[in-house]
């Protein structure tokens, strides 16, 4: 019997389409779902998108819940709980992804798990933020909902307009997430896991002198061979979240390795370009094995 698996993502985006292609090649069924078009009817118990009831599918793969992280994206995940209540398998489970969309929620889980992270301060108070900047010397102010370093602000303690920039940041981000700037030595790592199993590690190497190494800021992918100890750190970091496919962002600093975050959806492009691994095919095989049991 053909399994009907939908891909929740961004239509037209490479990783979404690659995953849909991989599932189609194995099942003959192709469905890309844009959650912006979904309609949840609580009385009818349906979650419709372009005429398809997601509650009637065999499974759903979460590749992207929204193009940009925001509180609205959390609501889309909540809607998916209707499909889960109808016993549709979701990869990764909506409730697990909920704990990652908010940067603070991810950080708290990592901290409770005793994962090494950069010194971090969270506050709504501008005076406290200014004191944190003075302690750190240089700090990155991060929105609670963002990807690829969007909306982040790098400040140094000696910046003459630091107070004004903090005030402007707080106007957009009432809860300020302030993290000591780490010495990345021009690169950081993405460590890839499938169902908790280590796959590979790629490096993001700065090409522009930017303070961050994201591809969005001009970084390039490269292969990386981590030590067993570093792989174990990545495994411990992703373990509390129970994700199907994820990437752990790790930096190697003079003080030792630190973890920045665990990705809600993982880096398909990094696995492909940095490691030569077809993540879409591996995820498709895993999902089909799970829904067939």
> What's the average model confidence in pLDDT over 217-229?
85
Split into its structural domains, the chain has a count of: 3
For residue 147, the enclosing domain spans: 120-180
The mean pLDDT value for 54-81 works out to 92
Of the pLDDT bands very low, low, confident and very high (cuts 50, 70, 90), residue 125 is: very high
Cβ atoms of residues 247 and 192 within 8 Å: yes
0.75 exceeded by pTM: yes
Read off the pLDDT of each residue in 259-283 and give the average, rounded to a whole number.
Answer: 94
Is residue 269 located within the same domain as residue 286? Answer: no
Q: Which of 129, 147, 180 is the last residue of a domain?
A: 180
Query: Are 93 and 229 contained in the same domain?
Result: no
Task: Mark whether 110 and 231 lie in a shared domain.
Answer: yes
Q: Which residues contact 258 (CB under 8 A, 6 or more apart)?
A: 116, 117, 118, 182, 250, 251
CB count within 10 Å of CB 29 equals: 15
For residue 176, what pLDDT is reported?
A: 97
- 63 and 23 in a single domain? The answer is yes
């Amino acid at each position: 019997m053909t399994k009907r698996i939908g891909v929740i993502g961004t239509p037209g985006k490479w990783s979404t389409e690659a995953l849909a292609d991989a599932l189609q090649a194995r099942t003959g069924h192709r469905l890309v779902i844009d959650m912006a078009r979904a309609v949840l009817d609580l009385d009818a118990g349906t979650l419709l998108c372009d005429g398809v009831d997601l509650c009637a599918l065999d499974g759903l793969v979460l590749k992207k819940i929204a193009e940009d992280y925001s509180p609205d994206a959390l609501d889309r995940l909540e809607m998916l709980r209707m499909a889960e209540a109808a016993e549709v398998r979701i990869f990764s489970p909506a409730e697990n992804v909920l704990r990652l969309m908010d940067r603070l929620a991810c950080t708290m889980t990592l901290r409770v798990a005793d994962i090494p992270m950069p010194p971090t301060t969270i506050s709504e108070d501008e005076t406290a933020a200014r004191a944190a900047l003075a302690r750190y010397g240089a700090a990155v102010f991060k929105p609670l909902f963002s990807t690829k370093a969007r909306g982040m602000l790098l400040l140094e303690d000696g910046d003459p307009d630091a107070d004004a920039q903090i005030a402007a940041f707080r106007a957009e981000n009432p809860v300020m997430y302030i993290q000591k700037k780490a010495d990345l030595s021009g690169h950081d790592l993405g460590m890839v896991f499938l169902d908790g199993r280590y796959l590979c590690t790629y490096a993001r190497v700065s090409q522009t002198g930017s303070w961050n190494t994201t591809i969005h800021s001009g970084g390039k992918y490269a292969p990386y061979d981590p030590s067993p100890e570093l792989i174990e750190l990545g495994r411990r970091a992703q373990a509390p979240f129970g994700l199907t496919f994820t990437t752990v962002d790790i930096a190697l600093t003079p003080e030792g390795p630190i973890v920045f975050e665990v990705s809600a959806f993982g880096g398909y492009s990094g696995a492909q370009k940095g490691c030569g691994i077809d993540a879409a095919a591996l995820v498709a095989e895993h999902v089909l094995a799970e829904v067939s049991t």
